[in-house]
Structure 1
Amino acid sequence: MVLAFVAVAMVTATAASAAGYAAARASLVEETQRRAVETVRDQVTRLAPETAYPPDQQALDRLRTSLGPDAMVTFEGLTSASGSTLGLITDDLRARVARDDGFAVQRVADDAGPRLVLGTPVLLTDVDGSRRDSGVDVYVVHDLAGTEAQLDRWTRVVVLTIAGALPLAVALALVVSRSVLRPVQRLAHSATELAEGNLGVRLTPSGRDELADLVATFNDTAAALERSVGELRRREAEARRFVADVSHELRTPIMALTSIIEVLRADAAGRSDQDLELATMAVDRTRRLARLAEDLLELSRLDAGVGDLRPEHVDVVHVVTGTVRTRGWADVAVAAAGPVPARVDVRRVDLVVANLVGNALRHGAPPVVVEVRAEPDHVVVGVTDHGPGLPAGTDPELLFGRFAKGDPSRTSSDGSGLGLAIARVNARLHGGDVTAHDDPGGGARFELRLPRRPEVSADREDDREDDDAPA
């Protein structure tokens, strides 16, 4: 806006100054030419009666001397001339003087500057009042240096006027932009704050123009959004608290139920095959229910922000190998070129790897390969199975949703649908992430990428050191 305002102001000032200069220049040149013509006409009118006709050379010399330093008088074959500018009298001007009875005017220029060349025949008045050509032609060269100097002064005035208009235009543009654009900037800044989550931002409207109406609309929108988001957050908090409470309350009875059903299964071993099958199915379903309660409780803790990292310097290969060995996965192989030292939370890395490998065993096909490798700034743990790969047409990001099913046609599975969501939350808690894609060699591949030195706030580190210090 400032640039546009300055541009319009400068164009307007330049156009107005140029138009004024052109008009003044034309008027000055015309006035100078008129005065020169009148001066020569008066001189010729005054000197013509004093000249004898036909004139001789001496008469022509006297007439030329009376006309000025740069003049020439001709009569048939006689010529009287003086001055260094007579070469400016062109043949065209001579022809016009010979053809017409009035003044012939021509503006020319030489190295010394512009000149005005005047030519006129000397007319005689008879007794009856008629006028006739005497045969004497007069040429006068008038110097326009004074006029040119005046035009140069005007040019400097015009240039200075335009140059002086520039800072004035800038100052006016800044004043206008401050009054017009500053409210828009405040509105844009407030909209940015609103987008970043500051729902309490408000503006004070001023005036009664369209901007004031826009500010009022913004405030109403922000207030409505704050109420809506507040209600959603309240309901979300209640839902999370409900899930956490339910999960916590279910843990003890589910554990007790699991123990009881396992006893019943042991007792059913001496009964019929049908009783043993039903008892085994009840144990599997109860264990799945227990895992679901544990997963829900873990997610509720992470959602509540109580999940805290406790990083330590370890060999990630050793952590992954321990995860596989502890769970007794015989169809899982760990591949690593050597130790991969990093600073991670061992419990959370174990949980992530266990969820990824468990997902590969449930939805893929053995063997499952867990590759651990080190990059300059990251640790990468890749879990690859030899199954059919990711479901066709499925966005890999959807697999990390809560209660997501890799194959919608499967109404049930051994998993809770929360494993990948928990894995991603724990990875991002480290500052890393989990991604999924089809492996070029077949099967699905899930990659855990963690920074080798995750950032941990100094106060948390000090707190852990205090907790670990001997009493």
Structure 2
Amino acid sequence: MRAFTGLRARLVAAFAAVALLASVGASGISYVLVRREMLQRTQEAELIQFRQTFARMVPTSFPPGVATEFAEILAKALATTDGRRKAYVGPSAGSGQLGVPPLPPAGALHARVTADFARRAVKGLVFQRVVGDGRPYLLIGSRVPADEVEMQAPVPVAIVSVSLERVAADLRSFTRSIVVADALALLAALILALLASRGVLRPVRGLGRAARALGSGDFGTRVEVRGADELADLAETFNRTADALEGMVTELRAKDAASRRFVADVSHELRTPLTAMVAATDVLADGTVDDGDGAVLTDGTLAVRLVAEETRRLSRLTDDLLEISRFDAGAARLVLDDVVVAEAVAATLGARGLADRIEVEGPADLVARLDPRRFDVIVANLAGNALRHGRPPVRLGFGRAVRDGRDGLELVVTDGGPGIPAEVLPVIFDRFVKAEAARSRSEGSGLGLSIARENAVLHGGVLEAGNAAEGGAVFTLWLPLAGPGGAEEE
């Protein structure tokens, strides 16, 4: 059924139908025009011949007693020897019988047509095309002048019957030629339709194969773009769709890998404080504890202190994980307000006891539209990271900076430490990344910088990391002063 209902069959049928209608329409118009021209030409030639013969042989009046002989002479002059043209010259239908052998068309049709034609011919030259016995004829007639004596009889007429069989044969030959031409046109249309459908179906089949390959997981599949027609646009659209799909799948795979790594890192980070807490609770039950240097203590104070410390660490890790989950779910929102940057920075450092350890420099009147809580998180993470992993002096400077034609706030945190290792720098903002070569038990969870960057992006800004030429890490935060475009305020 597909061979009769497929795209190829429909294209071929459409081509054939259009070609057939066009050729039949053109042939029909050509036949009508040619037929009219041939009949008109034959008719005009016969009328001219009739008039010339009539004018040459018929006097204005017949002498007495010669009308009958003259009628025979005129009839012979008007007729032809091959029988194609036959003539009758004699009294009109008013005398009853015409008195001559029937002119074609013969039979009953001859009597009716000729009698009626004779009556009309009395009024002058007349002509008419008729069909008798399945053959076409042209009848031409005119009255014959007679003297006053013979005018007492019915008015004589001259009638010529011309066979149009030759014209009909030419028309039949022309019709056969038209039919052959239409058949050839239809055949050519079918061949062209097959070639055209092949040219159309080849890229369509290629697109089908590529779509199946894409569906089976081969996301590198592409189709060749040829020409500049609709099929080329379709191929370009397919390639763009495949690119987007490949990018989405790659991103999903990367997210899946990141999620797996995230789960493993979370498990590791949670296991460390939980292990310490379990050990401490066992000590509380036994009344002894190992201080880590091999000394066994009987006082439970160290165990209580360890439980408290690990509980705080676990609480911070849980808060960081919840914050990361909000970013992943797209649920993080900004609560914007006009913030004096100098006051916000001082409040952040003062709340964490860092004001005396960091040198701050910046204009006191700079105001930016920010989320105060999230800005506090960014500054606290950058300052704490510089103090934990760098060395004094730690400096924090801020001021106006223009990027991409937008006025913004630039905040730079530098330290005097060894800087960020080259192998860590590309992934410094990834989750659970620490500067240590091995995962050691440390205060940080490896989520602070990742959360800081997510907050910067949420504001419509950027957070960058690098190393200073003279040594030390450099973190640069840029946020638009007017706030992110289209940000929702809670």
Aligning the two structures, in what range does the TM-score lie when normalised by the shorter sequence? 0.3 to 0.5
- TM-score, scaled relative to structure 1: 0.45
Structure index of larger Rg: 2
TM-score by length of 2: 0.43
